């Protein structure tokens, strides 16, 4: 009887932290979707990667739930090669992650109010909220040590190649996305919309990296209290 009870206790000890990590990881990914949707609902533009995605979304067109995994399939081999990581079946997991984030965006687009036609204050509020929300979400994801979304796997690889932080890699990744945004904007004739580039592109591009590094310690400290490891 005692042996059986002890065995069940061990099983509960193993599965409870894992289940909590899955919840934290899923919530962190959902916050990335919130961030994207907030910027889509403003008239200030969006971060460079999302401007790139939007050019593709409007030019092809293709829902984000399908577009995200396709782009992920391109970015992941590059990120793995930069880190000299062995390609395994786990390389496909970020595709599921990207599809999940895309689904969150598509659903929230129908829920979160559009403030693009409102006064500047509302637009600034949405943009200001999106940066820390994204930074918290990304730190929650990295804390759980599950695979990163494809884009952030690439940024993490860039930071590692630079022998620097994830935040610095994110900054370089945003600059790379800016180039891709201009290229796709020219291809799909988005000049009248300034390639979907705006104030948010610059503010988010230069603000998200430092914000990730700045919030890492408090987010990690808070999650350590959950005892999910």
Distance of CA 124 to the CA centre of its chain: 20
> What is the domain count for the chain?
1
Residue 155 in tokens: 């940024």
- Name the pTM for this structure: 0.79
Phi/psi for 148 (5° steps) reads -80, 160
Cα separation, 141 vs 91, in Å, equals 16
Range of the domain at 92: 12-224
**Is 3 domain-assigned?**
no
**Is 181 domain-assigned?**
yes
Cα separation, 215 vs 140, in Å, equals 10
Phi/psi for 145 (5° steps) reads 60, 25
Run of H or E residues at 59 = helix 48-59
Distance of CA 186 to the CA centre of its chain: 25
**Is 137 domain-assigned?**
yes
**pLDDT tens string 14-71:** 788 888 999 999 999 999 999 989 988 998 987 888 788 888 888 887 777 788 778 8
On whether the CB atoms of residues 97 and 149 are closer than 8 A, the answer is yes
Cα separation, 102 vs 107, in Å, equals 9
**pLDDT tens string 88-132:** 777 778 778 877 888 999 899 999 999 999 999 999 999 999 999
**Is 4 domain-assigned?**
no
Q: How many C-alpha atoms does 175 have within 13 Å on its Cβ side? A: 8
On whether the CB atoms of residues 179 and 210 are closer than 8 A, the answer is no
In degrees, rounded to 5, the angle at the alpha carbon of residue 92 between the alpha carbons of residues 91 and 96 is: 130
**Is 1 domain-assigned?**
no
* Average pLDDT of the residues in 137-157: 89
Residues 6+ apart with CB under 8 A from 203: 44, 127, 131
pLDDT surpasses 60 at 184: yes
**Is 7 domain-assigned?**
no
Distances (CA, A) of 219 to 136, 159, 209, 215: 7, 20, 15, 6
């Amino acid at each position: 009887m005692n042996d059986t009870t002890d065995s069940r206790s061990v099983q509960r000890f193993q599965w409870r932290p894992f289940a909590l990590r899955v919840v934290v990881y899923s919530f962190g990914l959902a916050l990335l979707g919130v961030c994207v949707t907030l910027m889509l609902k403003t008239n200030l533009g969006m971060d460079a990667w999302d401007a790139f995605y939007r050019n593709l979304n409007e030019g092809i067109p293709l829902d984000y739930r399908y577009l995200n995994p396709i782009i992920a399939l391109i970015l992941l081999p590059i990120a793995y090669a930069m880190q000299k990581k062995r390609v395994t079946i786990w390389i496909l997991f970020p595709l599921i992650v990207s599809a999940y984030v895309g689904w969150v965006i598509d659903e929230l687009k129908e829920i979160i109010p559009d403030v693009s036609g409102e006064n500047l204050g509302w637009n600034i509020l949405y943009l200001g909220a999106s940066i820390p929300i994204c930074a918290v979400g990304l730190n929650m994801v990295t804390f759980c040590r599950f695979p990163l979304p494809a884009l952030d796997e690439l940024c993490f690889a860039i930071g590692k190649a630079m022998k620097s932080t994830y935040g610095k890699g994110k900054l370089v990744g945003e600059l790379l996305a800016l180039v891709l945004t201009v290229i796709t904007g020219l291809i799909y004739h988005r000049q009248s919309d300034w390639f979907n580039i705006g104030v948010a592109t610059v503010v988010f591009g230069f603000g998200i990296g430092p914000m990730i590094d700045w919030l890492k310690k408090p987010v990690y400290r808070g999650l350590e209290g959950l005892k999910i490891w």
